[in-house]
Amino acid sequence: MAVYNFSAGPAVMPHEVLEEAKAELTDWQGSGMSVMEVSHRGKAFVACAAETEALVRSVMGVPDDYAVLFLQGGATGQFAAIPLNLTAAGDAVDFLNTGQWSAKAISEAKKFGVDVRVIADEKASGYTTTPAAGSYELTPGAKYLHYTPNETIGGVAFPYIPETGDVPLVADMSSMILSGPMDVSKFGVIFAGTQKNLGPAGMCLVIVRKHLLGSARLATPTIVDWAGMAANDSMTNTPPTFGLYLLGKILKWVERQGGAEGIGKLNAEKAAALYGFIDGHDFYSNPVAVESRSIMNVPFLLANPELDKQFVKEADAAGLMFLAGHRSVGGMRASIYNAMPREGVDALIAFMTEFAEKNG
């Protein structure tokens, strides 16, 4: 039976990549050892890390005036790293609050003595919307604007990139990085935990405009000091070597899907099929404003929530895994990241059709 993994993260990885890694797990590049067992400072691994960085740059179209960093501590680590690297105590920083991941970043920033201004908050809609472009005003002198282009729990995504002029735009792309083409030059800082579109957990990809480097607070821990990490090719300390190696393979896989353009097209088709089905069926609904729907995380509700447990159980038995919504919101959520094949979405729709017929 085919198994399709709809987990929000750690999440499905391309099968081909796992097969490749398996084939060379005990003998990497003829070394007789796995990639996990070699020194990060040895010639072979340094070349592997450099290749991964070059692939990030080419597949994502990262301009030369940006540093590409591979850090530990996940995206959550960067919630602290951002104010440490970009502010002094007392500086104002702006946030758009579109859900739980924005909220977590906001509360972390507050620990660092910055003047946190939430200039838009979608509370009134129950975090099912994004603020309209131009409906919020940046705080004069703010050091950056932080936002979450894709809220993983709510399934809410910005349909546009906020315009911030000279103020650095900081984007938590954890759950939508490389889901389609993206103009990196619009951002000051992009960061993403790797456990959704970029491989296993344990690493955070940070892409930062070089002119923002060098103003970290003195107390910034070495492992999140972007300037130091940039100067040391992310090897101030031991980097997450296995994640770096797998990320390279995933990026090559994305290239084989037609790069960011190609994968974006496939993602749009998968999402359109699933939303189209949900919207056309009385038994299912999606609570998010149509223009703000995520193409990566698709939450949906059953007409009768008493059937939620049964739905998850039967889906599980049919090989459709991890469809329960986040524990804080309930309902269902299908995460359909890059590595979810179209067949997986079609299998989900077929299952949902049958479930509604039996229980509707």
Residue 196 is a catalytic residue: yes
**Does 172 participate in binding ligand PMP (rule CB under 6 A)?**
yes
In the complex with ligand PMP, the residue whose CB is nearer, 162 or 193, is 193
Choosing from 28, 94, 101, 226, the catalytic residue is: 101
Minimum distance of ligand PMP from residue 152's CB (angstroms): 3
Question: Which tokens belong to 153?
Answer: 């729990």
Mark the segment that binds ligand PMP (CB under 6 A) among 69-77, 209-217, 242-250, 303-311: 69-77
In the complex with ligand PMP, the residue whose CB is nearer, 198 or 260, is 198
| Alpha-carbon distances, residue 59 vs 9, 53, 239 (angstroms) | 22, 10, 22
Choosing from 28, 94, 143, 172, the catalytic residue is: 172
In the complex with ligand PMP, the residue whose CB is nearer, 149 or 331, is 149
* Exposed/middle/buried for residue 312 (C-beta within 10 Å: 0-12, 13-18, 19+): middle
In the complex with ligand PMP, the residue whose CB is nearer, 302 or 334, is 334
Mark the segment that binds ligand PMP (CB under 6 A) among 31-39, 168-176, 252-260, 283-291: 168-176
Among 83, 193, 299, 331, binds ligand PMP (CB under 6 A): 193
198-210 in b/e burial notation, b at 16+ Cβ within 10 A? bbbebbbbbbbbe
**Which residue do the tokens 């002029």 mark?**
165
Pairing of strands 156-157, 150-151: antiparallel
DSSP H or E stretch at residue 244: helix 241-256
Contact 104, 110 (CB under 8 A): no
**Which residue ranges make up the site for ligand PMP (CB under 6 A)?**
9, 74-76, 101, 148, 152, 172, 174-175, 193
Active-site residues, by number, are: 101, 172, 196
